Amino acid sequence: MKFYTFSSGGGNSNDRFSGLRFWLTTFLVVWGLSFLGLGWIVNSVFILIGVLVAIPIIGAIALQWWLSRSIVTSSCPVCEHTSTATVNSQFYCPSCGEPLQVENRKFARISIPGTIDIQVETID
């Protein structure tokens, strides 16, 4: 089976110019399209490549900004265990099991109205 290639010889004498040949062909195609008045196609391809590169970068920056505004790291008011939670959320402390909520970027206990907090000290 014979495969058709762009090389002009049967040997490997032209292999060192294969990269140069590709870029020269690409340049000539782009120049020809712009010469024929189809430069908008070339511009569209460059704009598409720019958008495809910019979207992940902008997305990563936006995600970091959102995380810095939405995630709170603080300590439990009962056991001083450091945890992470989202803003305006309620959760249980993973260390002591105390129900907590996020208020003013700090953790606060959720208590039933009328509950009085006391501290007990044992005397030996």
Is the pLDDT at 61 greater than 90, yes or no?
Answer: yes
pLDDT at 6: 58
Candidate from 3-12, 32-41, 91-100, 105-114 with smallest mean pLDDT: 3-12
Is the pLDDT at 83 greater than 60, yes or no?
Answer: yes
pLDDT at 123: 87
pLDDT at 62: 96
Q: 3-state SS string over the chain?
A: CCCCCCCCCCCCCCHHHHHHHHHHHHHHHHHHHHHCCCHHHHHHHHHHHHHHHHHHHHHHHHHHHHHHHHEEEEECCCCCCEEEEECCCEEECCCCCCEEEEECCEEEECCCCCCCCCCCCCCC
At 65, the pLDDT band (50, 70, 90 cuts) reads: very high
